[in-house]
């Protein structure tokens, strides 16, 4: 049997072994905010985040699409001197290991993977994704009031992780591998793990059954894309525009918001430079500004609506998956208390 | 060709001289910068200054009396490109709060009844109320890297582009706790220009917008939300106008807001 048992008290020991040959990224409490950061020992890991299931503020996208990233280098006389592909090939070979990703965050990475790896090949994204191993931490219930993962079908990803840890009792977790990398990892660190007994396996099945019972969908997403399109001119957009600060916080904490802008950084001798991409938000007035001065979304209400169109219409239709994972971060970190569920419900209310 | 190097001046009017100090603080880059330009006028840093002509003149500080007005007009004539650097030069700075007070009161308080007669003052003006300003570099004091990038872009023949993103973006990038959401601190980050790396909120201090507001800032929503959470219009105004008292658009908006509250916007510092 590939699956193994690990005692909860041995998780720090596992992390301490993993840091030897991986860059380990795990939930921490840097600056008093739950966050994913690189850790050098288990002492830096905030295990309570895993078990109390509070989501790190910035999701895993920050590993795969960092807020600032050099995409190519150039010389003013010779043009591109180091392409995106060359830059990607040059970066460190050390494996990255994400420890304790929640199922919805894994689903979020899968959305990015579909767009940046499967539909298009973004060399930088791909090289980071290829050398990353993900150990997930299963959720058996909604983690907090803003979570609506069941609605968005994100709490049971079938791929995109290498091992899933599921608590089967107060002291034990079962580690189920989901890839060859995951199996290899369980073998390499075999001494920390125990064999799965029949009783353990029954407890696992019971936990999964409990999970199925605990998660409730808040509203059907079937037909949502068309309903939003039908209500393109709805006054609901305008109503929420009166509350929204357009600070963009929701977009930065969103696991699937991937938009970026680019800027150039010239060297001081003015001979060379690098093109940098950094996070951008469709809530900002210059997001849809193009050369010549035309702005495709000049008004706040157009920008407010656009994010919903992208998430709930465009991504599902173009990439055949949900554009929202229902993690609720945009609700938690919205200074104006806007709830994406309310917006969707009100938009649908108009059509009924 | 040494003579082909652009001639640069860095001068200051009323302010704390912190912007000029920030430029001097570019210790790792200054020598390289001197390969690109000749600094011919920088009284804070050197002797043997020459008053123009300048290819680029950087001006710190606001204009607070008629003599300065004349001086600035003369400087403008000698400069191909005039750049306002820092909050005072761009928006008037903290001293522009004086514009909400009666001139007479201000002078008597500062110089005594007799002294007041000898010190005529005018409304505090950002540079663009006196002369044409070609470019603006923000922050209090001016962001030294904005300054450096500006020089690089002008010399490379490009148009420098300032970011137009709110402070919230940089707070999120840095993984900061939201002090508005969690502590109820009146932080103006959502409507104010970033570029500072969210410096104040990173130290649990509210953003008072020393870089001025972003384009199409959601003032209405921001102020309504803060009023709803129990803040007074006086407090909100203090935060919003602390550095940018001469931001006409913002002032006009706040005047309306005070009116809605049944009040007349007046000097609110005491």
Please report the number of interchain residue pairs, chain A to chain B, with beta-carbon separation below 8 angstroms.
104
Single residue among A214, A237, A257 that ends a domain in this structure: A214
Which of A28, A247, A266, A288 to substitute to test the interface with B, most B CBs within 10 Å? A247
Shared-domain flag, residues A104 and A161: yes
Shared-domain flag, residues A254 and A193: no
Shared-domain flag, residues A110 and A199: yes
Shared-domain flag, residues A203 and A281: no
Single residue among A150, A184, A214 that ends a domain in this structure: A214
pLDDT over 60 (residue B207) = yes
Residue in A270, A279, A336 closest to B156 by CB: A270
Single residue among A187, A214, A241 that ends a domain in this structure: A214
- Let me know: does A67 contact B173? Beta carbons within 8 Å: yes
Residue A219 belongs to a domain: no
Q: Give the C-alpha distances (Å, rounded to integers) separating A264 from A71, A276, A283, B197, B219.
A: 10, 6, 22, 18, 31
Which of A140-144, B106-110, B136-140, B194-198 is predicted with the least confidence, judged by mean pLDDT?
Answer: B106-110
Distance from CA of B41 to the nearest CA of A (A): 21
Query: pLDDT tens digits, residue range B5-49?
Result: 999 999 999 999 999 999 999 999 999 999 999 999 999 999 999
Which ipTM was obtained for this model? Answer: 0.93
With residue B168 as reference, give the H or E element that holds it. Answer: helix B167-174
Average per-residue pLDDT for chain B: 91
Distance from CA of B264 to the nearest CA of A (A): 24
Shared-domain flag, residues A274 and A134: no
The reply to whether B161 touches chain A by the CB within 8 Å rule is yes
Q: What is the largest CA-CA distance in chain A?
A: 70
Fold assignment, B2-156: Rossmann fold (3.40.50)
Residue A35 belongs to a domain: yes
The reply to whether B155 touches chain A by the CB within 8 Å rule is yes
Taking 50 as the pLDDT cut, the residues of chain A under it are: 351-352
- How many domains in chain A? 2
Residue in A31, A76, A245 closest to B175 by CB: A31
Q: What is the pLDDT of residue A141?
A: 92
Q: What is the pLDDT of residue A32?
A: 84
Distance from CA of B36 to the nearest CA of A (A): 7
Shared-domain flag, residues A188 and A249: no
Query: How many angstroms separate the CA atoms of A88 and A66, rounded?
Result: 14
Range of the domain at A40: 4-214
Q: Are residues B173 and A279, on separate chains, in Cβ contact within 8 Å?
A: yes
Shared-domain flag, residues A277 and A137: no
Query: How many angstroms separate the CA atoms of A193 and A175, rounded?
Result: 9
Q: Are residues A335 and B216, on separate chains, in Cβ contact within 8 Å?
A: no
Task: Say how many CA atoms lie within 13 Å of A240 toward its Cβ.
Answer: 25
Residue A160 belongs to a domain: yes
Shared-domain flag, residues A52 and A181: yes
Every domain of chain B and the residues it spans: 2-156, 167-260
> Residue A270: its chain B contacts at CB < 8 A?
36, 152, 155-156
């Amino acid at each position: 049997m590939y699956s193994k048992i690990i005692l909860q008290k041995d998780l720090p020991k596992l992390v301490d072994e993993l840091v030897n040959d991986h860059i380990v990224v795990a939930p921490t409490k840097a600056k008093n905010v739950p966050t994913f950061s690189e850790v050098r020992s288990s002492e830096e890991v905030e295990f309570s985040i895993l078990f109390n299931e509070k989501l790190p503020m910035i999701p895993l996208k920050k590993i795969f699409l960092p807020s600032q990233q050099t995409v190519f280098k150039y010389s003013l006389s010779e043009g591109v001197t180091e392409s995106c592909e060359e830059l990607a090939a040059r970066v460190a070979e050390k494996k990255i290991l994400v420890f304790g990703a929640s199922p919805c965050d894994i689903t979020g990475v899968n959305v990015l993977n579909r767009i940046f790896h499967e539909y298009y090949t973004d060399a930088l994204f791909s090289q980071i994704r290829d050398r990353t191993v993900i150990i997930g931490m299963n959720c058996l219930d909604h983690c907090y009031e803003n979570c609506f993962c069941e609605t968005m079908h994100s709490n049971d990803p079938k791929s995109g992780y290498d091992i899933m840890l599921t608590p089967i009792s107060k002291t034990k977790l079962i580690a189920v591998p989901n890839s060859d990398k995951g199996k290899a990892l369980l073998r390499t660190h075999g001494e920390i793990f125990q064999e799965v007994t029949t009783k353990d396996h029954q407890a696992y099945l019971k936990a999964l059954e409990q999970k199925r019972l605990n998660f409730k969908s808040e509203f059907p997403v079937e037909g949502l894309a068309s309903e939003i399109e039908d209500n393109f001119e709805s006054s609901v957009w305008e109503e929420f525009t009166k509350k929204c600060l357009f600070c963009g916080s929701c977009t930065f904490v969103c696991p699937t918001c991937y938009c970026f802008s680019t800027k150039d950084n010239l060297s001081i001798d003015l001979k060379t430079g690098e093109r940098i991409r950094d996070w951008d938000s469709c809530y900002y007035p210059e997001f849809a500004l193009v050369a010549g001065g035309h702005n495709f979304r000049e008004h706040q209400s157009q920008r407010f609506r656009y994010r919903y169109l992208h998430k709930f219409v465009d991504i599902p239709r173009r990439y055949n998956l949900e554009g929202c994972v229902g993690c609720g971060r945009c609700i938690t970190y919205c200074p104006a208390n806007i709830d994406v569920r309310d917006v969707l419900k009100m938009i649908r209310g108009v059509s009924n | 060709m040494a003579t082909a190097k652009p001639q640069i001046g860095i001068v200051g009017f009323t302010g704390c001289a912190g912007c000029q100090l920030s430029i001097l603080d570019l210790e790792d880059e200054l020598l390289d910068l001197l390969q690109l330009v000749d600094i011919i006028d920088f009284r804070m840093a050197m002797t043997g200054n020459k008053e123009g002509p300048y290819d680029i003149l950087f001006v710190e500080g606001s204009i607070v009396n008629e003599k300065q007005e004349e001086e600035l007009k003369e400087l403008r004539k000698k400069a191909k490109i005039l750049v306002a650097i820092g909050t005072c030069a761009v928006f008037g700075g903290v001293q522009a709060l004086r514009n909400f007070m009666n001139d007479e009161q201000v002078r008597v308080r500062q110089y005594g009844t007799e002294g007041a007669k000898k010190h005529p003052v005018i409304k505090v003006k950002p540079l663009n109320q006196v002369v044409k300003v070609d470019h603006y570099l923000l922050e209090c004091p001016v962001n030294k890297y904005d300054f450096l990038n500006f020089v690089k872009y002008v010399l490379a023949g490009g148009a420098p582009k300032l970011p137009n993103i709110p402070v919230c973006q940089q707070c999120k990038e840095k993984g900061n706790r939201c002090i508005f959401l969690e502590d109820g601190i009146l932080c103006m980050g959502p409507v104010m220009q970033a570029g500072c790396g969210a410096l104040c909120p990173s130290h649990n201090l509210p953003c008072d917008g020393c870089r001025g507001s972003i384009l199409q800032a959601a003032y209405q929503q921001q102020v309504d939300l803060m009023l709803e959470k129990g803040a007074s219009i006086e407090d909100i105004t203090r935060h919003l106008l602390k550095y940018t008292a001469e931001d006409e658009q913002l002032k006009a908006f706040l005047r309306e807001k005070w009116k809605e509250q049944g009040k007349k916007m007046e000097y609110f510092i005491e």
